[in-house]
Structure formats: structure tokens, C-alpha cells
Amino acid sequence: MPKTELIDSQVSVKQCTRAVHALHAYASKKQKDQEENELLTNEQYVWLQIAVKQMHPEKKIKPFRIPLKHALVDPRVSPVCLITKDPQREYKDLLESHKIKFISRVVGIEKLKGKFKSYEARRMLLKENGMFLADERVIPLLPGLLGKKWFDAKKQPIPVCMTRKDLKGELERAIESSYMHQNRGTCTSVKIGLLSHTPEKIIDNLKSSLPAIVKNIKDGWDNIQSLNIKTNSSVSLPIWTCELGVAKGGRWDGMVKSDDASIAGESEEGSDADEANMDSEEQVPAVLAGKGKGGKKPLNENVEKPVTTKDMKRKRSVEGGVKKKAKIVKDGLTKSAGASDGGSDSNEASMNLGEHVPAVAGKGKRPLNEDVQKPVTPKDVKQKRSAEGGAKKKAKIVNGGLTKSAKGELIGKKPGRP
């Protein structure tokens, strides 16, 4: 294919023309239907979607400037607002000295913090202006002052240099360009036209913007996976897709191969030994080869199963139980295993004679010898205190000067005459 029919020697102009005409016809018909049924409609943009193979390592606040042949904003129709440093009056005089008349409004930082502090005031400012420019020295302050509504409406302030000698040319280039915001994802979108533009103007903007977009992407065409165009609410139509091979620039270029071949070779060589083990009905442990396609691979008995996190937790739980049991034995609640085994005959004899053997409360009650006393529990202490309190109360009633009949009843005598 001749180079004259390609954009940046990669994208076919014929494919772009077909996609733009189809998208423009569909979106224009849909917008006409919406205008008949709705009172307010928003301007539809034409977007170029760029999908990359590897995401960008970092996110940058300052966007990349993309030149367009046909501007997206007309200052005569859509007002342009300029956000500057303080004092605000100094920059208004600067615009007048350069005879710049396409800036509709100048807003300083102090006015943003004061007059436009409320949500309603900021929303009105956003609605009244079609584009926002800002001095590049105040860009880091704006996300906290403006809020997320600017970013949701895709009206982020465009940074400009207010110290340039050719200030008018700087502001004109900023208004006539589009911008690519670099994020950490694998897909980004750039405005390349309006639905009110003709398909020919959109194609001209695509030809002028695509080389600059590719230049600002890491590794250029080698890192681009696909290009699509769409409107705000339509499906995306493809205009270019990389090859799916492993050649340079392909989808799988630079991908590291897995070790599936080596695993397959080992399994084929060891197939005879595995069959012999299975015939002899020996238990062969299975070891997980990894998260790849190898899956579980049978090995010989001398290969131990790898230790997992679950095994470590189970081992710690068993060790903790042993330590707890040893502590209970040390405190006199139970006897050691050796002592219980040694005293099994005496325990059986005492059980046969009908002697009462106390049981220790806890996990698994165990009979012990008579010389081992039952541990004192809070319940026993409470019962003992209750009994002592009852005895004291009874003695107080007897000695408290009650009637003789009552005293007699308390001390066990029948009531009668003195």
C-alpha cells in the first residue's frame, strides 16, 4: 500500500474514512431524535480511543498538547475563562496590553476561594464557560479548589505560560489544540472533533493529531494495541489493530514464554515409572507444579509434599495445645500422661470398690485418684460465701430479741407457754 494512503505510515486512510462517515451518520440521526424529545442537549464530541499493551508507570497532571487543524472551541460562541495568580487586576491589564479580546473572563485564586467557594457558584462558573485556561504556576492548586465536577465534565483547566513574550500566540495555540491526559490505565481518549463538524474536518483532525499522540506514548507504535473512534454515547468503531503474532510490533512481542514445554518433556520421560507405581497400587503424593498449565504432577514417594501456609497454621495450633496441656498439668489440674498410665491399676481398683473419684472440669473429663483434690472454682467460692452469710444471718435473728416461740422454732423447740 502506498504511503500516501497511510497516516503516520501505519493507519489506512480508507478505513478511517469509512468509520468516520458511518459514525457521523449514526450519531447525527440519534441526536436529531433527541432534540425532538428533549429540551436541552449537550454537544457531542468525536473521540479517538488508544489502547496500549503496557500501562504507563506514572500519572501526570499536565496533559500533552495535540494540534488540530479545526478547533473544537470557538471563542465567539463558547466563552473562554482564564484562571491566574493574584492580583487579578495585573493579568487583566496584561491581556489588554497585548490586545487579547477572545478571553471572556479572568478569575484569580483569591476569587476562587471567596466568591466561588460555594458549590452553586462553582457550578454556574462551569456552565457559563466552554473552556478553561490556567497559569501553569497555579495548576497544582486547582483540583482542590474546583472539585471533581470539572474533571467529570472533561473541562480541566489547560496550562498556559503567562510569561511568554508572544502571549497572544500562546493562548491561541492552547484554544486551537486538543489534549491527551496520561493515566495509569491501558486506555485513554482524545477529542479529535465535534459532531457538528463535517466528516472531512474530522478526518483532517485525525491526520494532524495521530502523529503527535503516538509520539507522546511510551515506545510509540510498538506499545499501541488498537485505535478506535466513538462519540460520547456510541459504540467504538475500529480503525487500526496490531497483529497478533510474536513478530516485532505484534500483540505478543516481548512476552516471556512459560516452561510448559520442559514440564511436558519431564512428564513424558517419567511416564513409565508413573505407570509402574500405579500398577503396584502404591500411594504417590501429588505436588502442585505451580499456577501455570502444568497442574498437579504425580511424583515418587521420596518427594515430600511442599509445606503450605495451612500446614504451618495446623502445626502452630498443635504446639499451642501441647503447651496449654503442659501448663494445666504443672498447675495441678491433671496428671501427666506417664502418671495416669502408671496409676491405671489403682484407678480401676478404686472404681470397682465404688469409691468416689473427682473429675476435673475442662476439655474431656478425666477420673483421678483421691489424693488429687477438685480445683476450687468461682462457683464454689460463691456457694461458700452464701452459706457463711446464711449462718451469720440466722445467729443474728436468734440473738436479736425475737419472741420465745420464734427462738424455739429456730433452735428446734416446740412453741408453748413459759
Amino acid identity at 236? S
Give a yes or no: residue 353 inside a domain. Answer: no
pLDDT value of position 262: 44
Q: Which pLDDT belongs to residue 401?
A: 53
Question: How far is CA 18 from each of CA 14, 28, 45, 236, 239, rounded to the nearest angstrom?
Answer: 6, 16, 18, 13, 9
CATH code, domain carrying 51: 3.30.190
Q: Do 56 and 75 share a domain, yes or no?
A: no
Residue 26 placed within a domain: yes
Least Cα distance to 102 among 23, 154, 175, 6 occurs for: 175
Q: Is residue 8 part of a domain?
A: yes
Domain shared by 201 and 128, yes or no: no
Query: Residue 15 falls within a domain, yes or no?
Result: yes
Sorting pLDDT into bands at 50, 70 and 90, what band is 233? confident
Which residue, among 136, 163, 162, 4, has the nearest Cα to 62 in the 3D structure?
Answer: 136
**CATH classification of the domain holding 140:** 3.40.50.790
The DSSP annotation for 199-266 comes to HHHHHHHHHHHHHHHHHTSTTGGGGEEEEEEE-SSS--EEEEE--SSSSTTSTTTTPPPPSHHHHHHH
Instruction: Give yes or no: residues 242 and 110 share one domain.
Output: no
In the DSSP assignment, the letter for residue 59 is -
Which range scores top for mean pLDDT: 11-20, 145-154, 408-417? 11-20
Instruction: Identify the band that residue 292 occupies on the pLDDT scale cut at 50, 70 and 90.
Output: very low
Q: How confident is the model at residue 185 (pLDDT cuts 50, 70, 90)?
A: confident
Q: What is the mean pLDDT of residues 195-218?
A: 92
pLDDT band of residue 229 (cuts 50, 70, 90) is: very high
Q: Please give the residue range of the domain that contains residue 106.
A: 70-179
**pLDDT value at residue 49:** 93
Please say whether the beta carbons of 62 and 160 come within 8 A. Answer: no
Query: What is the widest separation between alpha-carbon atoms in the chain?
Result: 140
Q: Which three cell numbers stand for residue 293?
A: 498449565
Q: Tell whether the model's pLDDT for residue 75 goes beyond 80.
A: yes
The reply to whether 78 and 150 lie within a common domain is yes
Closest C-alpha to 101, from 71, 80, 84: 80
- Cell numbers given for 78: 463558547
pLDDT mean across residues, the chain: 75
Grid cell digits, residue 407:
427462738
pTM metric for this prediction: 0.56
Same domain, yes or no: 135 and 208: no
Position 304 confidence tier, pLDDT thresholds 50, 70, 90: low
Query: Which residues are CB-contacts of 59 (< 8 A; sequence separation ≥ 6)?
Result: 182, 183, 184
E strand or H helix at 346, and its extent?
helix 344-352
Tell me, yes or no, whether 170 lies in a domain: yes
Q: How large a percentage of the chain has pLDDT more than 90?
A: 30
pLDDT greater at residue 157 or residue 390: 157
Same domain, residue pair 39 and 93: no
Instruction: Return d(Cα 372, Cα 374) in angstroms, integer.
Output: 7
Bridge partners of 286, per DSSP, are 298
Q: Give yes or no: residues 159 and 188 share one domain.
A: no
Domain co-membership, 45 together with 145: no
Question: Does some domain include residue 218?
Answer: yes
pLDDT of residue 392: 78
> In the chain, how many domains are there?
2
Do residues 19 and 103 both lie within one domain?
no
pLDDT average, residue stretch 88-102: 92
Residues 222 and 86 in one domain: no
Last residue of a domain, one of 138, 154, 179: 179
**Residue 300 pLDDT exceeds 80:** no
The answer to whether position 339 is within a domain reads: no
**Residue with the larger pLDDT of the pair 228 and 252:** 228
Under 8 Å between Cβ of 56 and 78? no
The confidence score (pLDDT) of residue 312 equals 78
Tell whether the model's pLDDT for residue 122 goes beyond 60. Answer: yes
Check whether residue 164 and residue 86 sit in a common domain.
yes
Domain assignment present for residue 382? The answer is: no
pLDDT score of 249: 60
| Cα–Cα dist 118/123, whole Å | 9
Contact partners, residue 146, CB within 8 Å, separation at least 6: 112, 122, 157
Q: Which of 179, 198, 223 is the last residue of a domain?
A: 179
**Same domain as 86, residue 49:** no
Among 130, 156, 179, the domain-final residue is: 179
CA–CA gap between residue 306 and residue 84 (Å, rounded): 64
Number of continuous H segments (helices) and E segments (strands) in the chain: 15, 14
